[in-house]
Amino acid sequence: MNFADGTLILLYFSCLLAVTPVMGAWLAGALRSNPPFWLRWLRPCERCVYRLAGVAPDAEMNWRDYAAALLVFNLLGGAAVFVLQLAQGWLPLNPQHCSGVAAPLALNTAVSFMTNTNWQAYSGEASLSYLTQMLGLGVQNFLSAATGIAVMAALARGFARKNAATLGNFWADLVRSTLYVLLPLSLVFALVLTAQGVVMSFAPYAQAQTLSGETQTIPLGPAASQVAIKQLGTNGGGFFGANSAHPFENPTPLSNFLQMLAILLIPAGCVDAYGRLTGARKHAFCLLGVMVFLLAGAFGISLYAQLHPPSALGNAAEVIATEGTEARLGVVGSVLWANATTAASSGSINAAHGSLAPIAGGMAIFNMLLGEVVFGGVGSGLYGMVMVAVVTVFLAGLMVGRTPEYLGKKINAREVRLSVAAVMAPCLVVLAGCAVSFMTQAGAQACGSQGPHALSEILYAWASMANNNGSAFGSLTATGPLYTIGGALAMFVGRFVPIACVLAFAGGVAAKKTVPPSPGTFPTDGLLFAGVLCGVLLTVVGLTFFPALALGPVLEHLLLSGGRTF
């Protein structure tokens, strides 16, 4: 690692922390119907959307109505993407004459983009028309991200209100987060990416002659607009199969830095916005500190493992240090992106995660197994971390024999059960998916590797799907029914079971009175709480997944240290 690498790391984390309060203020203002002054000219557009949809934005919803509206809206969006894929062969904006997608794969893709997972068992430039990419996948990139922000807003209102039966209006939260945050940011970012060389074209694919006289197809398409929202919305689905390793999606070091920053921009802002909406800025700062600490720790371990391969491999050690990384961007740029994208539920990649050093690849898995709460997805990372925080105050209350309190609300058995269910649902899906994969011939044959790396490959896949990340180890063949149909179910459960639990939780705490702090209240804005919160997170992952991690990436590292490869 050289001076430039150190500068990149320092600049990245500094920029992230610097823009977090700006993004938080922007989000909180938009959700309060008080957007920044330079966007207030969009208010007539907001009112027009409500009139066209027949929505009364001031009509408050209880948690059941809010959850029902959210679920129906997302199901209809998923159905539209499913039908669009089946019919794309007869629709316009299809210069390459792509035929309709097979129904199982179309279902998997529809659920994937509906749930903000963007798991891709296909290559975009070879399978999808421009219309499907824009009207189907691109639109869902906005709406799935806005859904996460809406749930975060509802949860914040649950703590901010007292003796209330409602959590706001889902339609208003959806429209405001899309119109005042996601669309303006994406428009500006798409223009910047286009200036950097990200392709934005409706022309058919170009044909070129190589130096050897062969004909090469150069894929084109309206990529910049989708790349912008895929990063800002922590969606991660690439316009091209190689994702952000493709030079048409990520052509320069500057585009790489900006896209990497965009992955964490809104998730970090959601933490600050949560503090503003609840009036608990110091607690939000504590949550942000925990997230930065865990991300920095995972990145540090990954980078060390990648730069210091086992010496027992001899001359091959130097090759392994760069294996899987993007040569244009270097080891540090590849490893930093790998940790940012797996911590943020994004799934976009600029390197081959399956080819990284075992511990580096294992840390990418570990980031996802934390439940995607270290920044996590847009909105979803914050509300996932809050559920872990509730479990933390419950455990602290058990130790001192007091009813736990969180942000002035008493936490009773119902809230604890809902928090545990939200935290554990993705864990159970991961374990069930891995068990089925190893018990069935289809699951075993999908692996492109042997030994412990095969276990890591399968564990990564189910951790990615259940926690709505979307990335994968490249050698896995995910086109069979187990990963298309079973994966769709895993993504659906991993997304909507926690959302239902969070909204039910928010509805319960909104109806409670605010309890003033007492000498026995466990402060949730100090180093002690941050330490206990980290301990609870690591304990949940350790107790649930330690055997799988030990037999996968850890064992592979130990075998490599002994000079054994697969």
What pLDDT, on the 0 to 100 scale, is given for residue 397? 85
Q: At what angle do helices 139-160 and 63-87 cross, to 10 degrees?
A: 170
Contacts of 186 (CB under 8 A, 6+ apart): 142, 225, 228, 229, 232
Give the C-alpha separation, 192 to 252, whole Å.
Answer: 12
Contacts of 494 (CB under 8 A, 6+ apart): 115, 117, 425, 426, 429, 465, 466, 467, 468
What pLDDT, on the 0 to 100 scale, is given for residue 317? 55
DSSP letter for 444, please: H
Determine if residue 54 is left, alpha or beta; phi over 0 gives left, psi from -120 to 50 gives alpha, anything else beta: left
Length in residues, the chain? 566
Q: At what angle do helices 103-114 and 63-87 cross, to 10 degrees?
A: 140
What pLDDT, on the 0 to 100 scale, is given for residue 312? 64
Asked whether 443 and 437 are in contact (CB, 8 A), the reply is yes
Give the C-alpha separation, 249 to 198, whole Å.
Answer: 5
Asked whether 172 and 525 are in contact (CB, 8 A), the reply is no
DSSP letter for 137, please: I
Asked whether 378 and 233 are in contact (CB, 8 A), the reply is yes
Helices (DSSP H) in 178-329: which residue ranges?
Answer: 183-196, 223-232, 253-278, 281-307, 316-322
Which among 396, 428, 426, 429 has a CA at the least distance from the CA of 411? 396
- Give the helix/strand (H/E) hosting 215: strand 215-218
- Give the helix/strand (H/E) hosting 34: none
Gyration radius of the chain's alpha carbons: 23
Neighbours of 563 (CB within 10 A): 12
Asked whether 525 and 280 are in contact (CB, 8 A), the reply is yes
* Token pair in block for residue 162: 């007292």
pTM, to two decimals: 0.95
Determine if residue 405 is left, alpha or beta; phi over 0 gives left, psi from -120 to 50 gives alpha, anything else beta: beta
Residue with tokens 């903000």: 116
Give the C-alpha separation, 334 to 343, whole Å.
Answer: 14
Which among 163, 148, 169 has a CA at the least distance from the CA of 53? 169
Name the 3-class secondary structure at 246.
coil
What pLDDT, on the 0 to 100 scale, is given for residue 1? 74
Which among 323, 318, 363, 336 has a CA at the least distance from the CA of 244? 336
Asked whether 231 and 259 are in contact (CB, 8 A), the reply is yes
Asked whether 520 and 322 are in contact (CB, 8 A), the reply is no
Contacts of 6 (CB under 8 A, 6+ apart): none
3-state helix vs strand vs coil in the chain, percent to 5: 70, 0, 30
Which among 458, 386, 493, 420 has a CA at the least distance from the CA of 157? 386
Give the C-alpha separation, 407 to 409, whole Å.
Answer: 6
Asked whether 419 and 390 are in contact (CB, 8 A), the reply is yes
Asked whether 238 and 249 are in contact (CB, 8 A), the reply is yes
pLDDT one digit per residue (tens) for the chain, 566 residues: 788 889 999 999 999 999 999 999 999 999 999 999 999 999 999 999 999 999 999 999 999 999 999 999 999 999 999 999 999 999 999 999 999 999 999 999 999 999 999 998 888 888 999 999 999 999 999 999 999 999 999 999 999 999 999 999 999 999 999 999 999 999 999 999 999 999 999 999 998 988 888 888 899 999 999 999 999 999 988 899 889 999 999 999 999 999 999 999 999 999 999 999 999 999 999 999 999 999 999 999 999 999 887 776 665 555 667 777 888 888 999 999 999 999 999 989 999 888 898 999 999 999 999 999 999 999 999 999 999 999 999 998 887 777 789 999 999 999 999 999 999 999 999 999 999 998 988 888 888 788 899 999 999 999 999 999 999 988 888 888 899 999 999 999 999 999 999 999 999 999 999 888 877 788 899 999 999 999 999 998 888 999 999 999 999 989 888 877 76
* Token pair in block for residue 94: 């299809």
- First vs last Cα of the chain: how many Å apart? 28
Q: At what angle do helices 139-160 and 170-177 cross, to 10 degrees?
A: 120
Q: At 6, phi and psi to the nearest 5?
A: -65, -40
Question: What HEC string does 151-213 produce?
Answer: HHHHHHHHHHCCCCCCCCCHHHHHHHHHHHHHHHHHHHHHHHHHHHCCCECCCCCEEEECCCC
Give the C-alpha separation, 157 to 530, whole Å.
Answer: 23
Neighbours of 34 (CB within 10 A): 12
From residue 290, how far is each of 188, 295, 373, 426 by CA, in Å? Answer: 30, 9, 10, 21
Give the C-alpha separation, 273 to 152, whole Å.
Answer: 9
Which residue type is seen at 382? Answer: L
Name the 3-class secondary structure at 36.
coil
